[in-house]
Amino acid sequence: MSSLPQKLLRLVEAFPKAQVLVVGDLILDTYLECRAVGVATEAPVPFLEISGQTHALGGAANVAHNLARLGVKTILLGRIGIDREGEILHRLVEEAGIEFYPLGTESPTSRKTRVQASGHYYLRLDEEDTTPLEPHQIQALSQTLSEAMKRSQLLLVSDYDKGVLKNGFVDCLESIAESRELRIVGDVKPQNIRQWRSLHCITPNLSEAKNLYSQLRPGSTCPSENLELARELGEMLSLNVVLTLAEKGMTVSTAAGVSQSFPALCAAPKSVTGAGDTVLATLAAALSCKADLFDAALLANLAAALAVSHQGTYAVAAEELSRVIQNLKTDGP
Amino acid sequence: MFVQDIVDQFASQSILVTGDTYLDRELYGKVTRLSPEAPVPVVKINSRRTVPGGAANVAKNISSLGGNAVLFGLFGDDPLSQEIARELPQENIKLLNLCPSNYRLPEKYRIFAANQQLLQMFHRTMDPAEIPSLPPELELKEAGEIQGKVLVLYDQGYGFVNQLLIEALGHLTKAKELKLIVDANPNHISWYGKASLYTFNADESLQAAQILGKSARTVEEAGDVLRSQLDSDVLITLGAGGMLILEGTKPAQKILATRVPLADRVGAGDSVTAVLALCLAAGIPLIEAAELANKAAGIVVAKPGIAYVTPGELMNLFHYEISHLLMESMSVKQRLLQEQLPAIEDLVKTIIHTYQNEKTVYSFGNGGSAADANHFITELVGRFQVERKAFPAVSFSANEILMTSIANDYGYENTFARQVDAFVKAGDLVVAFSTSGKSKNVVLALELAKTKGARTVGFTGNTAGEFPRLCDICIRVPSDNTPRIQESHLAVVHIICELLEKEFARHLS
């Protein structure tokens, strides 16, 4: 057997030995299954009866879920509200086998509720509080962070712009990571990129990348070639860029400007929801096992293909990934 | 009977309320984008409001109107029931739990964005089969001590109301001589017996008639079917159409809704039920009760979301209409400012020149316009605000002796022209008031004035009639509403007088 699939398999096998700390915006994804009863009496709007609800981990919690399913020892830190949604999120995180350090707050747990009736998605209700963490809250977390980072090989930050990864807290994370010599990999919103000094790698999608470019070079036209875009971003920010391109696959560029593109491997994707989380988690898992950036991206690309072949958000398991690698031809994808 | 007298009696009434109680949850948010997953709106919720709904909302309305409510039903140990149990006593509502149980209250959600309702959802937390049944003889020991005269049954079909309950309530109302009002559910129509009053909305009435297998093409027909089936008085709410009352064997009577700026209809039905209950308890005849309930509905639909009515609001019979009319007047004046400023400026300058040249001002009009002309002349000859010499001015609408005499001899259309002929000279200013610009006697007078070399000014409305042709200056109020036009005419008259006086006062030693 050739070295590439073997190398990748060994990486996946090494996952259970790795530990990653995930910090970011926790979201509870709720799906309300409803039955249409008729038109409301006082307004020309649908009147639906809720017949069931399911919950899933979202945001940074979904990234952590993906890591756990890949077999990586995962620690998750984020904020939840003192409410029913917070309890549900807590339960789901623990059921996924993730070590959880929640910061409980008066603000509501961030949630996205999707209302569905007869198979049709009707509306989404989002509830969140995006105030940044207070200094006393950051203080309360710093000891846990320091201890968790001591045990981890990588810090993963998942920014959904819900207020956690901002200002003082970002400084706190970076300084502890620096003292522990821990690399930071993250999905950071373009408007928040300037908060960070020492990111090792980011995973923007195309629109986020374009947004980033126009922020860093206002007035200039964005490169039309994705490879060019990834390279310029990497050079401007001095970090590695994994640019995800949905049906066009992904393009990776190091801070030094070395780049490579990977085609999308799923011919008929069912749903792209949550695929970005899968990419980030797989990338982080591989990097925490000392993988080369391009091997890590290759693995992430394989995982993404698996994720999008499922309906809705899907966390890829280590065994599935291993099976896919074994089916690869010797001369690689 | 005066509204005040009716409303004053509310405070001494005790009303028993039962039926479907649930939690009404209103979620308010903003929509700025679609979901990346499908072209559906993403509503970002920024505030929530939870209030007790259904029978509990009727109880709250009763309490808001000054009455005493006793709400009884099934309240469990769940957080939702606890929320209700905590809130209600603070509002003078006594709560009776018929049997503490594992019953969980249903929840109703309303989603609002940009003041519009987007969706309603209902969460029936328990299977109807799981709902504990009540003992056949309802022993409301505590209720027995309360002097209640009316029992309201609120049946939304959410599971609390079943045949057993209806039977038990029948016994209770007979034993305690209570008047029963039912906010009815069409699906349960065959379970209901005789009561003091049944209420339905228009759709429910048609549905109920259909379920009874009787054909009813209109709400009136449905009402007759229902009143005969139930052997009771029936009231049908018609939204913006008002209400239909079917009392005894009398022909159906309709009450029109009050014209209001509609926010939404949420909870209006419950306010209606509360007012009816309080009125019936006070022995008020059904029609008067319905008129007051109709008024309450008008107040509630002008408020967004679930809202209540206070006795004070009910007694402000005309507040809404008064505000509306004053605002209408203000908006006409605003449009006048935007459109007629140059013309008014022109008129001020013209009247100043008229008096600088020692000429005379003549004015006339019919009816309200005659009063305006007279008002104008009075300010000029007598005094507006400042001490100055008297300005020469005459009203041709002030002398009824002269007018009746001219009209009698020459016809009414010559009443002003004959006076123009007698008095107006070249260089004089002739000011005509006519909201339509078409009054024959005004038009003829203006024509003659022009031939005599006078300057003509017309105060008119949007239609303007002959005035643009006949008047050197035309103050054309942008409205077709006669009273609104006249209100603006008077404002301009006052402006002219003020600026004219200021100008002359400036030049006095």
Position A94 scores a pLDDT of 96
Q: Which residue of B has its CA nearest to A117?
A: B121
What is the rounded average pLDDT of the residues B374-387?
A: 92
Mapping DSSP to helix (H, G, I), strand (E, B) and coil, where does residue A169 land? helix
Does pLDDT of B198 surpass 90? yes
Task: State the pLDDT at residue B372.
Answer: 97
Q: Is B426 on the interface with A (CB under 8 A)?
A: no
pLDDT tens digit sequence for B39-86: 999 999 999 888 888 999 999 999 999 999 999 887 777 777 787 788
Q: Which of A49, A127, A128 sits opposite B122 (nearest CB)?
A: A49
Mean pLDDT of the region B485-501: 96
Quick one: which of B333, B281, B332, B274 has its CA closest to B299?
Answer: B274
Rg over CA atoms, chain B:
33
* Mutation choice for A interface testing from B22, B119, B236, B264 by most A CBs within 10 A: B119
- The whole-angstrom separation of Cα A181 and Cα A243 is 25
Please answer yes or no on whether B37 and A125 come within 8 Å at the CB atom.
Answer: no
| Nearest residue to A57 (alpha-carbon basis) of A76, A71, A39 | A76
Nearest to A50 among B42, B44, B123 (CB): B123
pLDDT over 80 at B261, yes or no: no
pLDDT tens for B76-106 read 777 777 877 888 887 778 887 766 667 778 8
pLDDT by residue, tens only, chain A of 333 residues = 458 888 999 999 999 999 999 999 999 999 999 999 888 877 889 999 999 999 999 999 999 999 999 999 999 999 999 988 999 999 999 999 999 999 999 889 999 999 999 888 999 999 998 899 999 999 989 999 999 999 999 999 999 999 999 989 999 999 999 999 999 999 999 999 999 999 999 999 999 999 999 999 998 999 999 999 999 999 999 999 999 998 888 999 999 989 999 988 887 888 888 899 999 999 999 999 999 999 999 999 999 999 998 888 889 999 999 998 988 765 455
B chain contacts of residue A123, beta-carbon cutoff 8 Å: 40-41, 43, 111, 118-119
Residue pair B283/B275 in contact by the 8 Å Cβ criterion: no
- Shortest CA distance from A126: residue in chain B: B44
Task: Provide the pLDDT confidence category of residue B145 given band limits of 50, 70 and 90.
Answer: low
Closest CA to A17 of A288, A295, A293, A283: A288
Put simply, whether A122 touches B (Cβ < 8 Å) is yes
* Per-residue pLDDT tens digits for B213-234: 988 999 999 999 999 999 999 9
Whether residues A125 and B122 touch (CB distance < 8 A) is answered with: no
CA distance B360 to B327: 37
- Say whether residue B30 is in contact with chain A using an 8 A CB cutoff: no
Residue A124: strand, helix, or coil: strand
CB B181 within 8 A of CB B280: yes
SS3 for B127? coil
pLDDT (tens digit per residue) in B328-344 = 999 999 999 999 999 99
pLDDT value at residue B99: 63
Q: CB–CB of A125 and B264 under 8 A?
A: no
Least confident of B166-180, B451-465, B476-490: B166-180
Count other Cβ atoms within 10 Å, centred on residue B314: 21
For the cut 80, the answer to whether the pLDDT of residue B401 exceeds it is: yes
B123–A49 CB contact, under 8 Å: yes
Could you say which residues from 164 to 203 on chain B have a Cβ atom under 8 Å away from some Cβ of chain A? 201, 203
**A127 touches B at CB < 8 Å:** yes
Q: What is the pLDDT of residue B133?
A: 63
> A42, B111: Cβ pair inside 8 Å?
no
A29, A159, A277, A292: which one is catalytic? A277
Q: For residue A167, what pLDDT is reported?
A: 86
Render the burial of A243-275: b for 16+ CB within 10 Å, e for the rest. Answer: bbbeeebbbbbbbeeebebbebbbeebeebbbb
A42 CB neighbours in chain B (<8 A) are: 117, 264-266, 268
Cβ contact, residue pair A49, B121, below 8 Å: yes
Q: At residue B437, what is the residue type?
A: G
Which candidate from B35, B45, B117 shows the least CB-CB separation from A43? Answer: B117
Q: What pLDDT is stored for residue B302 in this prediction?
A: 83
Nearest to A115 among B44, B119, B265 (CB): B119
Burial level of A176, CB count in 10 A (0-12/13-18/19+)? buried
For chain B, positions 223-252, list CB contacts with chain A under 8 A.
none
Would residue A29 show up in a list of annotated catalytic residues for this protein?
no
Q: What is the pLDDT of residue A3?
A: 82
- For residue B42, the surrounding DSSP H or E stretch is strand B41-54
Contact between B377 and B394 (Cβ < 8 Å): yes
Task: Residue A115: list chain B partners with CB under 8 A.
Answer: 119, 121
Residue B489 has what DSSP assignment?
H
The pLDDT tens digits of the residues spanning A289-325 come to: 999 999 999 999 999 999 998 888 889 999 999 998 9
Q: Using CA atoms, how far apart are residues B57 and B143, in angstroms rounded to an integer? A: 19
pTM: 0.71
Instruction: Tell whether A47 is within 8 A of chain B (Cβ).
Output: yes
Residue B74's closest CA among B98, B106, B95? Answer: B98
The answer to whether residues B134 and B99 touch, using CB atoms and an 8 Å cutoff, is yes
Cα distance between residue A39 and residue B495, in whole Å: 55
Split at pLDDT 50, 70, 90, the class of B509 is: very low
What strands lie across the sheet with A73-81, from one edge to the other?
A99-105, A73-81, A19-24, A154-158, A183-187, A201-202, A240-244, A250-253, A259-262
Residues B203, A48: C-beta atoms closer than 8 Å: no
State whether residue A56 sits within 8 Å of chain B by CB: no
